[in-house]
Structure 1
């Protein structure tokens, strides 16, 4: 029972992994529970204790302790979250954005610390991976995947043809071989099993 409770607590914050290229925009999904949304906080474990990616409270974003690298690059999908959607839009992704992003929500009468960081456990944890964009590499990857699929398909077709040929050829050869037909006819002929009329009895 204790193990079940521990597993439940550990899985409370749903984790997700997202891969993006430098320069992309990304939406980090997070949905609040039932209740009035008092505050929303997106943060990262590697930021200073008082810093955050985005903090929303009293109907607006609070940039007071927002880390400078996220200024003018982040916003909530719903700037006045009414439908529990507190997802974060991160624009123009950089290599520095790679890492763990945590979503926290304060509902109802829950309180927050004066420094603006919520006490609640994260309800969503997202690991963002950022890759350098290389159009030639991307085109090569697509071509490479296409060639691999074509080769695999060709090999499968070739093996199927060879197997069918090997299975069909002996059968057809036996049917068309006159020697085999004559041999079968002689062996099956009733007269071949009877002694000749003019043969002397033994």
Structure 2
């Protein structure tokens, strides 16, 4: 294998690793949050572009009402499910840096489940992420402080980067070995 070929292989490996890292970071977030009854928890959501409408949904409610709904920077309580009345507020009321995170107050066992954050403009919505809330009973062995978050995209991205680094290492080893063999044959 010529030096030019080996350089092209290294170039392609580096290009692929950059693309995979970008793809993993651009993907949707799948977060987990844990707490116990009475805790306040933050459901994270970060918009990627400007939006005028925000809605937090809990699909297992099987209702036309939402956990939280804002349109034109105004909270629309008439669209809020009764079980979330007066318990949900924006983490940042000004939504600086497109922060659409909400604080769910005084959680209870019925709040456990998956929440979806959508942002939009002009009636079109985009799913930004899903947050799974687990509510532990006091004394439960898996009880935590309410801030335990998992990021599947990060785990996948790091795994992919690890595989790529191993591949680059193997290619580098082959290059080194080939050069050593060529120098010894002279």
**What is the DSSP-based 3-state SS (H/G/I as helix, E as strand, rest coil) of the residue aligned with 2:127?**
coil
Shift of 1:42: 0.5
Matched-pair contact (CA < 8 Å) for 1:15–1:124: yes
Partner of 1:111: 122
Q: Does residue 1:41 correspond to 2:47, yes or no?
A: no
Q: Deviations over 1:39-93 (max 9, x none)?
A: 1110111123521000011222101121101000001111221321110100001
**What is the DSSP-based 3-state SS (H/G/I as helix, E as strand, rest coil) of the residue aligned with 2:115?**
strand
Structure 1 stretches of 4+ moved >6 Å: none
Partner of 2:106: 92
Match of 1:65 among 79, 84, 87: 79
Instruction: Return the TM-score normalized by structure 1.
Output: 0.54
Unaligned runs of at least 5 residues, structure 2: 1-22, 144-186
Unaligned runs of at least 5 residues, structure 1: 1-7, 113-118, 139-202
Partner of 2:130: 125
Match of 2:94 among 80, 97, 121: 80
CA distance in 2, matches of 1:67, 1:13: 25
Matched-pair contact (CA < 8 Å) for 1:12–1:123: no
CA distance in 2, matches of 1:80, 1:47: 28
**What is the DSSP-based 3-state SS (H/G/I as helix, E as strand, rest coil) of the residue aligned with 1:46?**
helix
Answer 1 or 2: higher relative contact order, Cα 8 Å, separation at least 6. 2
Q: Name the CA shift for 1:120/1:12 in 2 (closer, same or farther; >3 Å).
A: farther
- Of the two, which has the highest radius of gyration? 1
CA distance in 1, matches of 2:101, 2:81: 18
CA distance in 1, matches of 2:87, 2:31: 21
